Structure 1
Amino acid sequence: MTVRRVMGVETEYGISVPGDPGANPMVLSGHVVNAYASTHGVRSGRAAWDYADEAPLRDARGFEMGRGVADPSQLTDVEDPTLANVVLTNGARLYVDHAHPEYSSPEVTTPRDAVRWDRAGELVMLESVRRLAASPGEPGVNLYKNNTDGKGASYGTHENYLMRRETPFAEVVRHLIPFFVARQAMCGSGRVGIGQDSRTAGYQLSQRADFFEVEVGLETTLKRPIINTRDEPHAVADLYRRLHVIIGDANHGDVANLLKLGTTSLVLAMVEDGAVGRDLTLDKPVATLHAISHDPTLRTTATLRDGRTLTAVQLLWEYFHAAASYLEQRGHTAADDPDTAEVMGLWESVLTRLERDPMECAADLDWVAKLSLLEGYRERDGLSWGDPRLRAIDIQWSDVRPEKGLFHRLRERGRITRLVEDPLVADAVTQPPTDTRAWFRGKCLEKFAPQIAAASWDSVIFDVPGRHALQRVPMLEPLRGTQAHVGEIMDRSPDVVTLLRELDAAAG
């Protein structure tokens, strides 16, 4: 009944080498991962990824796709050929995914922590860029926290939410499709160009919207669906489902990012409890997704199956009022749950301002902040939306280097709202969340890295001196392995042998 649940964010970063458009992106991405991992004592081949429980072709609709008919990009359970696939001391995964460096944040339990550890990934990527630039013989690589190169390629920012297995998946689909279609009005990161290859001049709300072609499906890199059906919980399968959301944009701003995660978590809570209320099923969801994204005035309407027409903001108001009623009926108070109160307060404030004048949200929403900046250039230099200089500015907006990235410059000038202060983000680069199993994973990497053969979201595998077989510690319950749960055991274990003995005794 709150925004609190196990969640996390995966972000693939755009990559380029100035002056070398033909550079191999997979090799470059491997350099990025290894540049960071090698300098922090995490080498590829040690503390690598455990693929034992991966099942990327299992579908939430009750079947499993055959490997022979799957696109190669769907086979994420195959060992990375670049060997650039490591686990970090903050519990995150850093690896090469579809020829992009990807940072997958550790599991957290609040939207604010999700923002914090997602931003930590920006610092990880920044350090890699700087180390490569300072290394003789290494290519100078630029990284961008965005979702398209503007020439037809798209790469993902995926959200993950743990939810109850017993919830009928059809209900998830029915209630989340309209929400995701409308959500871009709050959480889009803005894009110059219309269409997958930006062939039409203009500006739109979302970087990802034009790349979605179907309502429901298993794929993530082709025929992208609004609702992804991958059924890979990384947890106790009988109890949990991991909702894998692929339709979101890469957000820089704290407010938009927190709203993306917090409002989605609340809607999921209502779906789980059967409390969404009115049916908001859309007549043509995919076409409506595109049309709403293409209209930064927010006047485009969506036609519901019951005949009503609502703008994206009006649709979001429907969800907001349903959430407010849901919380009130369950006796929710801000004092008891400040995380939910924060999300509800920001949600109401943003919708109110979007309805009045979207530009009032320039400090809080990525797409509005970017549009405000671009309009300044357009007015100053008389630029049309088809001018290639605006596309260049769009790319530069997302550069991870603070001296180059235009978003970073705005934030340093106080023009962007901060919810998470920089010292907390810097700490999250090396420290894991304390209230999920990520704490155990991260602390094992910090304390026992030489003895860790591999790890994953739901396991740590130790190579114990004197034992012939590897020792696998399963972690199928995401809310165990926390500091409160195993902190004392970790503190009193000087070596892996002691740690495993103490864990066995505690479990026994």
Structure 2
Amino acid sequence: MDRRVVGVETEFGLAHRGGERRGLPPEEAARYLFRPVLDWGRSSNVFIPNGSRLYLDVGSHPEYATAECDRLTDLIASDRAGELIMHDLALRAEQTMAADGYAGTLYLLKNNIDSQGNSYGSHENYLIPRTTHFRRLSTILLPFLVTRQLLAGAGRIVPAADGRGAHWAFSQRADHMWEGISSATTRARPIINTRDEPHADAGVHRRLHVIVGDSNMSETTQLLRFGSTDLVLRMIEAGVPLGDFELEDPIAAIRTISHDLTGTATVPTRDGRRVTAVDVQSALLDRSRRFVAEHGAHHEHVDAVLELWERTLQAVSSGDHTLIEADIDWAIKKRTVEDVAARGGLPLDAPRLTQVDMAYHDVHPERGLFRMLERRGRATRLVDDDAVRRATVDPPATTRASLRGRFLSTARAFGVEHQVDWVQHKLVERPLEALMLKDPLAVEEPRLESLLDKLGDRAARLQELDIEQRAAQPGPLALSERYRVRDAPPPDPPLI
């Protein structure tokens, strides 16, 4: 499979801070946040015109699932678009709350743990061939994912406990995983979830559902996270010998590794050896380089992935985190926290530094700490602001999401009742003509065009409604036009 289809689901932390009054509990704040979504789609679980899914998950966590992507930059842009969409909803919710007497600020955090220790996830979905042997896949992939936190962890300050003082950890998610492989998601929180819903031809494809990853703010961290995983999967699928790093206890190992920023902690393998996270990652990096040399680069960012992979391992091994302090989330955050601590003479467990840790993940484009660092050149960019804004309304052009987006926009423009999921496309008034689009890489479908043509001259209608012009207007609130209920007043101007 030359083109890999990938998507990522992100659960957001949500908190409301009132002025003089106590803030609303998360479940109440979530209802305000999703009010425009309910108005638009009459559900808290909807697909939107950029091909992505927006919904309210268990525990009042807003969740955004990107459209299916086959390019890493499209995936990163679509994920960033989710932040802008959530921010747009938060601005509107704050206005509605204030009108109802609940003045205050709504915070949306793209992280994985709240102040009470509750965890929420960032789930990756990779479409893999059905012929891939799952036992071999899991044997190789588990050690990779357990140690991948060196590359893609979001980092966190761990409070003092059990006789150990406050310290840094690579991952926010590692301490909340309980099984290596399981069909459960919330009860057991496995590293790999075996629920097999490919949303494609199940005879050809299988979905690999990885739920161990941290939510990333850094675009280069995302590039390494998804790019390195894709390379390992390609080698597994090609039958490349990757060595035996099967761990005796993956859950104990993931915790040990997370709490050791030196990368020197050893964990036992099933065959009685002890290895470090750097050992495992270095071996897989070496094999990835040989694989690319033999088979060629399968996308334009392969060299960048390999270079950043090597540089990150060098930074961990040497202790010189300046090598990656603009590129890898845990290192970017660590430098920022240390700068604040040094200026104020603060210990690592100071409440002020915990606030900095949380502020790093605030998705507000002006207030959020990571976005401030980005504007100051302390975080590397891969996609520009225009690409992110376009991704709030335009689906990826090279996957099935483009068909889903066209179907949604056209049906919405005509006010026609419709039902959509990852595969199904149906006009309620024409139930016998429902389409099941099982090819995730399809970008043309005559049956879909024929169905939409029956609604009339949609091109003229779209031009009349000026949808294209609204989609091109700057700022994330352009997306609000897509949510707007007919005859409702327009939203306020962008607040950023």
TM-score under structure 1 length normalisation: 0.82
2:301 alignment counterpart = 339
Change (3 A) 1:308 1:187: same
Matched, 1:44 2:9: no
Matched, 1:129 2:90: yes
- Within the candidate set 206, 215, 235, 1:270 is matched to 235
Q: Secondary structure at the match of 2:301?
A: helix
Cα shift readout 1:214-249 (whole Å, capped 9, x = no counterpart): 211111112211221111111111111101110000
The Cα of 1:89 is off from its aligned counterpart by 0.6
Q: Is the 8 A contact 1:33 1:94 kept in 2?
A: no
- Within the candidate set 111, 127, 132, 1:146 is matched to 111
Q: Is the 8 A contact 2:5 2:126 kept in 1?
A: yes
2:310 alignment counterpart = 348
Q: Is the 8 A contact 2:153 2:214 kept in 1?
A: yes
The Cα of 1:441 is off from its aligned counterpart by 0.5
Q: Hey, which bits of structure 1, 4+ residues long, moved more than 6 A?
A: none
Q: Is the 8 A contact 2:433 2:451 kept in 1?
A: no
Range with greater deviation from structure 2 (127-136 or 138-147):
138-147
2:436 alignment counterpart = 474
Change (3 A) 1:304 1:129: same
2:370 alignment counterpart = 407
Matched, 1:110 2:71: yes
Q: Is the 8 A contact 1:6 1:107 kept in 2?
A: yes
Q: Is the 8 A contact 1:120 1:425 kept in 2?
A: yes
The Cα of 1:266 is off from its aligned counterpart by 1.2
Q: Secondary structure at the match of 1:153?
A: coil
Q: Is the 8 A contact 2:150 2:313 kept in 1?
A: no
The one-letter code matched in structure 2 to 1:33 is F
Matched, 1:33 2:34: yes
The Cα of 1:28 is off from its aligned counterpart by 2.6
Q: Is the 8 A contact 1:8 1:160 kept in 2?
A: yes
Q: Unaligned 5+ residue runs, structure 2?
A: 459-496
Matched, 1:88 2:48: yes
The Cα of 1:324 is off from its aligned counterpart by 1.7
CA distance in 1, matches of 2:402, 2:24: 37
Cα shift readout 1:68-125 (whole Å, capped 9, x = no counterpart): xxxxxxxxxxxxxxx3111111000001011111010000002222111101101101
1:504 alignment counterpart = none
Tell me which of the two structures has the higher relative contact order, counting C-alpha pairs closer than 8 angstroms and 6 or more residues apart. 1
Change (3 A) 1:195 1:386: closer
The Cα of 1:191 is off from its aligned counterpart by 1.1
Cα shift readout 1:297-348 (whole Å, capped 9, x = no counterpart): 3222233333443332231111111112222232x15xx7413333223323
Q: Is the 8 A contact 1:192 1:204 kept in 2?
A: yes
The Cα of 1:418 is off from its aligned counterpart by 0.5
Q: Secondary structure at the match of 2:9?
A: strand
CA distance in 2, matches of 1:17, 1:419: 32
Change (3 A) 1:195 1:292: farther
1:51 alignment counterpart = none
2:468 alignment counterpart = none
Matched, 1:372 2:335: yes
1:359 alignment counterpart = 322
Matched, 1:170 2:135: yes
Change (3 A) 1:171 1:370: same
CA distance in 1, matches of 2:34, 2:343: 40
1:416 alignment counterpart = 379
The one-letter code matched in structure 2 to 1:311 is T
Change (3 A) 1:222 1:202: farther
Change (3 A) 1:269 1:367: same
TM-score under structure 2 length normalisation: 0.84
CA distance in 1, matches of 2:122, 2:128: 19
1:56 alignment counterpart = none
Q: Secondary structure at the match of 2:41?
A: coil
The Cα of 1:391 is off from its aligned counterpart by 1.6
CA distance in 2, matches of 1:171, 1:478: 25
The Cα of 1:495 is off from its aligned counterpart by 4.3
Q: Is the 8 A contact 1:175 1:276 kept in 2?
A: no
Q: Unaligned 5+ residue runs, structure 1?
A: 46-82, 500-508
Matched, 1:156 2:118: no
The Cα of 1:196 is off from its aligned counterpart by 11
Q: Is the 8 A contact 2:262 2:316 kept in 1?
A: no
Q: Secondary structure at the match of 2:178?
A: strand
The one-letter code matched in structure 1 to 2:362 is D
- Within the candidate set 215, 228, 240, 2:193 is matched to 228
The Cα of 1:296 is off from its aligned counterpart by 2.1
The Cα of 1:287 is off from its aligned counterpart by 0.9
The one-letter code matched in structure 2 to 1:435 is T
**RMSD of aligned Cα (Å):** 2.6
The alignment-based identity, stated in percent, is 38
**How many corresponding residue pairs?**
448
Change (3 A) 1:448 1:167: same
CA distance in 1, matches of 2:314, 2:262: 15
The one-letter code matched in structure 2 to 1:441 is R
The Cα of 1:440 is off from its aligned counterpart by 0.6
1:395 alignment counterpart = 358
CA distance in 1, matches of 2:159, 2:66: 30
CA distance in 2, matches of 1:196, 1:414: 36
Q: Is the 8 A contact 1:90 1:429 kept in 2?
A: yes
CA distance in 2, matches of 1:452, 1:151: 42
Matched, 1:327 2:292: yes
CA distance in 1, matches of 2:369, 2:89: 19
The Cα of 1:205 is off from its aligned counterpart by 0.8
1:100 alignment counterpart = 61
Q: Is the 8 A contact 2:149 2:171 kept in 1?
A: yes
